[in-house]
């Protein structure tokens, strides 16, 4: 059943790449509406995403086999959420190899996949050499990265006002991830509310981002911002924002004037936009 669903998605994209994230449930993403409410004190810190998958290898292998089989029909990127430990990376890769071996033993064909990891935990953002050693691309999950960096439960109204995507620490982790991927020629995208917020588009472009992941309803507005963007001016401006004690205030400052002899470089990097 999973294979058929993935196959329809891959064939429907007619040769364009499809990114499939492995099961990402827990905390604010229940398995279904009928699921009992999590009784743990801190469900956001509990058994969720890749932790859930590694705790149930049989379930995880079923999904991995389905994704591998669907990769016969087009380009598939396999994305692993919420990794933080080297042991989790090694377990995941081992299970992926085991899924391939199972398909070989059954005589079932499967295709190659590019392997990616979500950067959602500060520990992952501070362990980029380890992640770039094993993965073809990274995707920054800003919702959880902000939540974990600032110790803010974004579902808790009493502290929701402290949830700040422009906190200097958040911007530093985001920037370091983008730069590390560029340095090694690895793909990097940003997902979460930040990627689909047009108020953030110019800043993300200035920080070097070229691949955005968002809800389809946000694509046109973000696309319009991208088409208007002049990255020759956005880069220095974004650097000032990054170095500011108050990035939100710095974002209101005008872009520096472009020298008359400098050509206007409009970045319409819509090849990877959107990636959802």
The rounded distance, in Å, linking the Cα atoms of 179 and 215 is 25
Residue 25 confidence (pLDDT): 80
Q: Helices marked H in the chain — which ranges?
A: 2-12, 50-55, 57-70, 86-106, 122-125, 128-134, 142-150, 168-183, 198-206, 219-228, 231-243, 247-250
Residue 88 confidence (pLDDT): 98
The rounded distance, in Å, linking the Cα atoms of 273 and 226 is 10
Residue 217 confidence (pLDDT): 96
CA 37 to chain centre: 26
Q: Is 137 contained in some domain?
A: yes
Q: Is 33 contained in some domain?
A: yes
**DSSP track, 243-274:** H-S-HHHHTTSPPPPPPTTSPP-B----SS--
pLDDT digits (tens, 9 = 90+) for 225-273: 999 999 889 999 999 999 999 999 999 998 864 444 444 444 444 444 4
pLDDT digits (tens, 9 = 90+) for 156-209: 889 989 999 999 999 999 999 999 999 999 999 999 999 999 999 999 999 999
Residue 142 confidence (pLDDT) above 50: yes
| Residue percentage of the chain with pLDDT more than 90 | 79
Q: Is 217 contained in some domain?
A: no
Mean pLDDT taken over the chain: 90
Residue 214 confidence (pLDDT) above 60: yes
Q: Is 80 contained in some domain?
A: yes
Q: Is 161 contained in some domain?
A: yes
The rounded distance, in Å, linking the Cα atoms of 153 and 38 is 15
The rounded distance, in Å, linking the Cα atoms of 239 and 251 is 10
Residue 255 confidence (pLDDT): 83
pLDDT digits (tens, 9 = 90+) for 29-82: 656 655 555 555 677 888 899 999 999 999 999 999 999 999 999 999 999 999
DSSP 108: -
Residue 41 confidence (pLDDT): 64
Of 129, 167, 128, nearest in space to 148 by CA: 167
Q: Is 248 contained in some domain?
A: no
What domain range includes position 47? 2-203
Q: Is 84 contained in some domain?
A: yes
What CATH number is associated with residue 165? Answer: 3.20.20.60
| Residue percentage of the chain with pLDDT more than 70 | 86
pLDDT digits (tens, 9 = 90+) for 102-116: 999 999 999 999 999
Q: What is the tally of structural domains in the chain?
A: 1
The rounded distance, in Å, linking the Cα atoms of 189 and 272 is 9
| Tokens representing residue 114 in the block | 């590019």
């Amino acid at each position: 059943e999973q294979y058929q669903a993935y196959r329809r998605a891959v064939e429907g994209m007619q040769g364009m790449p499809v990114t499939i994230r492995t099961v990402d449930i827990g905390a604010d993403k229940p398995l279904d509406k009928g699921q009992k409410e999590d009784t743990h004190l801190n469900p956001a810190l509990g058994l969720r995403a890749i932790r859930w998958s590694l705790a149930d290898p049989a379930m995880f292998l079923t999904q991995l086999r389905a994704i591998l089989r669907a990769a016969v029909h087009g380009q598939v990127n396999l994305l692993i959420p919420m990794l933080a430990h080297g042991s989790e990376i090694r377990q995941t890769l081992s299970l992926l190899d085991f899924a391939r071996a199972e398909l070989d033993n059954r005589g079932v064909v499967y295709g190659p996949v590019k392997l990616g990891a979500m950067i959602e935990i500060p520990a992952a953002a501070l362990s980029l050499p380890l992640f770039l050693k094993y993965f073809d691309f990274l995707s920054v999950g800003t919702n959880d990265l902000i939540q974990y960096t600032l110790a803010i439960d974004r579902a808790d109204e009493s502290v929701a006002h402290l949830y700040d995507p422009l906190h200097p620490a958040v911007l530093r982790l985001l920037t370091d991830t983008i730069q590390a991927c560029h340095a090694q020629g690895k793909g990097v995208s940003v997902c979460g509310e930040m990627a689909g917020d047009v108020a953030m588009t110019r800043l993300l472009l200035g920080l070097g981002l070229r691949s955005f992941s968002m809800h389809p309803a946000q694509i046109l507005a973000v696309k319009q911002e991208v088409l208007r963007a002049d990255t020759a001016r956005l880069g220095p401006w974004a650097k000032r924002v990054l170095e500011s004690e108050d990035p939100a205030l710095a974002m209101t400052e005008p872009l520096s004037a472009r020298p008359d002899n400098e050509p206007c470089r409009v970045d319409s990097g819509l090849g990877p936009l959107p990636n959802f």
